[in-house]
């Protein structure tokens, strides 16, 4: 009577570094051209450099805080690169700087959120195809499902669908909203790609004390959602998996999930102190090889790029960062009147009265 029941399988999705492609049926994705590979490298360097610089900006007092993505460049650039900004729509968290950059979002407008200028960022989400920056963990996963269902409802004549891609972390996978989103998406066959960056940590809590069963991808099976668990530090694998997931969704086959196994090499945010919950040795052992360094070696080995190209890419990254920093530095505060003006499309007498009162009392100051 006290014999343990055995789990019904599916919860052991292999160690993070082993990509699992076997769940992908059909043709392999078209290989990336040399030009595309170099473009990816340039993006990753730009993102790496901007990310490291943003931490410096914070230390220098230019911005009050920042959530670094060091180590997640392959996962972010690779997935963002697969987006068709003419018809798809992306729902980020607070850590998707690399996705924004890969999608071509105005980076001064993006970084303004970290300067405490405006919560969602100053970029235009409709034009950028990137929803406003989202601080609620798991908060926008359902939005992606709704947006995607909207595509089904207004399906164009050629039958192909705009696809929503939503980002969330291993920690976010614990939120009820994420479950509701997966179930809704699967019931409605909504064209949505759930892109999980499993970076090993939710602030101080490691994945093994967060994600029961050990894998977010394994959850997808319970909803009948096809899932891929991939090496999120291999940018080529990320691009290919994301393209295939998009193709799956675009053709009307319903949602797909990608769990990109990666590692948050930096602190959770500039106010975090990872030394309290993990040692430098653990970091070194668990992080694996640097995705940028790895990609660089590969490009060299394959003869796709040479040292001159890498130097050029770094130089471009540096001048890009300088421009962005200048833009961020130049950013003034938004006028206080926007607090009132942007609440509604149709304002109210009470708000107008409060705005008038505010104007009067702050002019006296």
Partner 1 sequence: MSNAILESEAAMADGTPNHGVEQLSMQQALNRALDEVLAGNPKALIFGEDCGRLGGVFRITDGLQAKYGTGRVFDTPLAESGILGMSVGLAMAGFHPIPEVQFDGFAYPAINQIVCQIARMNYRSRGTMPMPVTLRVPSFGGIRAPEHHGESLEALFAHVPGLKVVSPSNPHEAYHLLKYAATRPDPVIFMEPKSRYWQKGGVNFDSADGSDSPAGDSPTGANVMRAGRHVTLVAWGAMVARCLQVAELAAEDGIDVEVLDLRWLKPIDEAALVASVRKTRRAVVVHEAPLTSGLGAEVAQLVTQGCFDTLKAPVERITGFDVPYPSGDLEDEYIPNIDRILFGIQRVLEYRRG
Ligand X SMILES: Cc1ncc(C[n+]2csc(CCOP(=O)(O)OP(=O)(O)O)c2C)c(N)n1
Which chain residues interact with ligand X by CB under 6 A?
95, 135-137, 168-172, 199, 201-203, 264, 268
Q: Which does 303 bind (CB under 5 to 8 A by kind): partner 1, its own copies, Mg ion, none?
A: none
Could you list the beta-strand ranges (E) of the chain.
Answer: 89-91, 164-169, 192-198, 201-202, 205-206, 227-231, 256-261
Contact 274, 331 (CB under 8 A): no
d(CA 237, CA 293) in angstroms, rounded, equals: 15
Q: Which does 118 bind (CB under 5 to 8 A by kind): its own copies, partner 1, ligand X, none?
A: partner 1
172 is a site residue for partner 1 (CB under 8 A): yes
Q: Residue 115 interacts with partner 1 (CB under 8 A)? A: yes
122 binds, among partner 1, its own copies, Mg ion, none (CB under 5 to 8 A by kind): partner 1
- The interface with partner 1 within residues 260-319 (CB under 8 A) comprises 271-272, 276-277
Q: Can you state the percent helix, strand and coil of the chain, rounding each to 5?
A: 50, 10, 40
User: Least distance to ligand X from the beta carbon of 152, Å?
Assistant: 24
User: Does the footprint of partner 1 cover residue 324 (CB under 8 A)?
Assistant: no
Residue list 165-194, contact with Mg ion (CB under 5 A): 169-171
Alpha helices in 137-259 (DSSP H): 141-153, 176-188, 216-222, 235-250
Q: How far apart are CA 354 and CA 233, in angstroms?
A: 51
Enumerate the active-site residues.
264, 268, 277
> Residue 87 interacts with partner 1 (CB under 8 A)?
no
R_g of the chain, CA atoms, integer Å: 22
> Residue 137 binds what, of its own copies, ligand X, Mg ion, none (CB under 5 to 8 Å, by partner type)?
ligand X
Q: How many CA atoms lie within 13 A of 346 on its CB side?
A: 0
In the 8-state DSSP scheme, what is residue 4? P
Binding region for its own copies (CB under 8 A): 1-11, 23-27, 29-30, 174-180, 182-187, 209-215, 217-228, 243-245, 247-248, 250-251, 253, 256
């Amino acid at each position: 009577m006290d014999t343990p029941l055995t789990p019904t399988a599916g919860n052991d999705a292999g160690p993070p570094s082993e990509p699992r492609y076997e769940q992908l049926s059909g043709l392999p994705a078209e290989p990336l051209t040399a030009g595309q590979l170099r473009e990816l490298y340039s993006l990753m360097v730009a993102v790496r450099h901007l990310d490291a610089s943003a931490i410096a900006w914070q230390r220098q007092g230019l911005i009050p805080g920042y959530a670094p993505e060091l180590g997640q460049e392959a996962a972010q650039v690779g997935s963002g690169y697969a987006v068709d900004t003419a018809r798809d729509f992306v729902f980020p968290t607070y850590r998707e700087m690399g996705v924004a950059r890969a999608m071509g979002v105005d980076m001064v407008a993006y970084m303004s959120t970290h300067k405490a200028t405006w919560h969602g960022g100053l970029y235009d989400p409709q034009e950028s195809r990137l929803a406003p920056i989202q601080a609620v963990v798991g908060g926008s996963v359902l939005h992606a499902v709704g947006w995607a269902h909207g595509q089904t409802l207004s399906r164009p004549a050629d039958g192909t669908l705009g696809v929503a891609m939503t980002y969330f972390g291993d920690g976010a996978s614990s939120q009820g909203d994420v479950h509701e989103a997966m179930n809704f998406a699967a019931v409605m066959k909504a064209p949505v790609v759930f892109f999980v960056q499993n970076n090993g940590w939710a602030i101080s809590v490691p994945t093994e004390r967060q994600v029961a069963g050990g894998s977010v991808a394994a959850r997808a099976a319970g909803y009948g959602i096809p899932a891929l668990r991939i090496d999120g530090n291999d940018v080529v694998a990320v691009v290919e998996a994301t393209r295939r997931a998009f193709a799956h969704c675009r053709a009307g086959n319903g949602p797909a999930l990608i769990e990109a196994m990666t590692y948050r090499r930096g602190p959770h945010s500039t106010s975090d102190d990872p030394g309290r919950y993990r040692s430098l040795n653990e970091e070194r052992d668990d992080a694996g090889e640097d995705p940028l360094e790895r990609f660089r070696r590969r490009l060299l080995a394959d003869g796709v790029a040479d040292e001159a190209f890498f130097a050029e890419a770094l130089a471009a990254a540096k001048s890009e960062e300088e421009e962005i920093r200048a833009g961020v530095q130049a950013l003034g505060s938004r006028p206080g009147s926007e607090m009132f003006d942007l609440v509604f499309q149709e304002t109210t007498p009470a708000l107008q009265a409060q705005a008038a009162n505010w104007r009067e009392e702050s002019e006296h100051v």
